[in-house]
Amino acid sequence: MAKMTDMTKGNPMKLIVRFTIPLFFGNVFQQLYNMADSAIVGQKLGVEALTSVGQSASITFLIIGFCMGTCAGFGIPISQRFGARDMSTMRKYVYNSLYLAAAIAVILTITCCSLTGQILRMINTPDVYMDNAYKYLFIIFAGLPCTVLYNIAASIARAVGDSKTPFVFLVISAVLNVGLDFLFIFGFNMGVEGAAIATVISQGVSGLMCLIKLLTKYPELRDKKKNYLHLNSKAIGVLIKMGVPMGLQASITAVGSILLQIAVNGLENVYIQAYTIAIKVKMLFIPMFDSLGTAMATYVGQNYGAGDFSRIKRGIRDAVIIAVSCAAVTMAVITFFGRYIIMVFVKAGEEGVGAVVDAAYQYIFIDVMFVAILALLFIFRYSIQGIGKSLTAMAAGFMEMAARVTMSLFVIPFVGWTAACFTDPLAWGGGMIYCTITFFILMHLKQKKHSTS
């Protein structure tokens, strides 16, 4: 029987670490099969094909980020009701979140597939990359139901304290994806389309297996009356209020990334290629901090539902200690091994590779020097979401977007690549300051209200 974890009891640091580790490895495996796509495309098809795939990165971040954020938001009311031991309402949230996720998947798939070409032209995709970028992005959009399926199942599991089940199925998915990459690209010579199809199939298998496990192994999600299976307008309202702002927050952040992509596309080709590779490498170290933030959303959500504010503060303190330690390790790894990691994505000896590697390393090195700021941003933003203030947390996305818009429109066109390298740290800094101050203000107000009620 799958195990639900009650995070309202026990040592906070141990609980957070135990919950974060499967999330981290799951996210790493997810990035590894994305990395496998990129490495195989780069080694087999060349930097130009890899850059074509990379042109879709900011767009997929916009759409898939919305799906992931919305599904994560649906998990917050579930975790709060689980912490409050209100199983009846929790079940209603679980099944209505599945219905909402299905509707979102259908709407986004139809819309995005219809607009793929217009989207790529909107970000000024160079003609040399357009054909492969279109093929790759269209297939990824067509597979959005698979992406949503996994994320909603994983969100529900994490809300009730189970981060291991999503991890297990992501490992299976990662192995499957690598195998399919070799089959489609090397065996069938399918090019970038093969990489996209492999990703979609892998996500679909992972999502379906996770959902089946979720619905068959958690007796707490079922009762004899089965009233929880019906559409419930009140539950849907709560889920939309929590989930949509979290989805929009990810999309708002992605808008800034899209503008950054547009600004970089206006630079020399070496920087366009370097940016594509740097984003791939960056996504290898972000999962640690994103996983810690996700753990805090569940931890804070459950303890907020239980009304234990002192325990929330203790958990925040422990999370900051974990984050700073991980940031130090990340800086050391990138400083000493960053160039070797970048070389995974390029063909040795290909013309101009040296300049591309130098530019990509500059971007990554500057990012990791400020990664502790990103870690704190994740902790406090997810914690704000955990107490049910997703609209408040969304404002951090606007601050990040504002920083990226300013740099993309007014600085990068005049200063160049170095300005692009400092764009992420500036965006993280603005969001972190806002979220940290806001969280402690909200905690003070919530605790005061709780003590007088």
pLDDT computed for residue 2 by the predictor: 47
What ranges do the domains of the chain cover?
12-452
**Angle at the Cα of 28 (from 290 to 157), degrees rounded to 5?**
65
Structure tokens at 334: 């990138």
pLDDT computed for residue 1 by the predictor: 38
Structure tokens at 279: 């984003």
As a whole number of angstroms, the distance between CA 110 and CA 60 comes to 15
pLDDT computed for residue 3 by the predictor: 60
453 residues of the chain, pLDDT tens digit each: 346 778 999 999 999 999 899 888 877 776 666 666 666 666 666 666 666 666 666 677 788 889 988 999 999 999 999 888 888 888 899 999 999 999 999 999 999 999 988 888 887 777 777 888 888 889 999 999 999 999 999 999 888 888 888 888 888 888 888 888 888 877 788 877 888 898 899 889 989 998 888 888 777 777 666 766 788 899 999 999 989 988 888 788 778 888 898 899 899 999 998 998 998 889 888 889 999 999 999 999 999 988 999 999 999 999 999 999 999 999 999 999 999 999 988 877 777 889 999 999 999 999 999 999 999 999 999 999 999 888 898 888 889 989 999 999 999 999 999 999 999 999 999 999 999 999 999 999 988 887 776
| Rg of the chain taking only CA atoms, in angstroms | 21
As a whole number of angstroms, the distance between CA 415 and CA 143 comes to 39
**Torsion angle, CA of 153/155/159/160, rounded to 10 degrees?**
20
pTM of the model: 0.78
pLDDT computed for residue 332 by the predictor: 96
pLDDT computed for residue 227 by the predictor: 65
As a whole number of angstroms, the distance between CA 26 and CA 32 comes to 10
As a whole number of angstroms, the distance between CA 119 and CA 108 comes to 14
Q: In Å, how far are 110, 120, 157, 255 from 114, measured between CA atoms?
A: 6, 12, 33, 20
Phi/psi for 160 (5° steps) reads -100, 20
60's CB contacts (< 8 A; 6+ apart) are: 137, 140
Q: In Å, how far are 157, 271, 413 from 165, measured between CA atoms?
A: 7, 40, 46
As a whole number of angstroms, the distance between CA 257 and CA 255 comes to 5
Phi/psi for 162 (5° steps) reads -110, 100
pLDDT computed for residue 359 by the predictor: 97
Give the burial class of 333: count Cβ atoms within 10 A of its Cβ; 0-12 exposed, 13-18 middle, 19 or more buried.
middle
Phi/psi for 30 (5° steps) reads -65, -45
**Angle at the Cα of 65 (from 289 to 295), degrees rounded to 5?**
35
359's CB contacts (< 8 A; 6+ apart) are: 270, 271, 274, 278, 417
> Within a 13 Å sphere around the CA of 108, how many CA atoms are in the beta-carbon half?
25
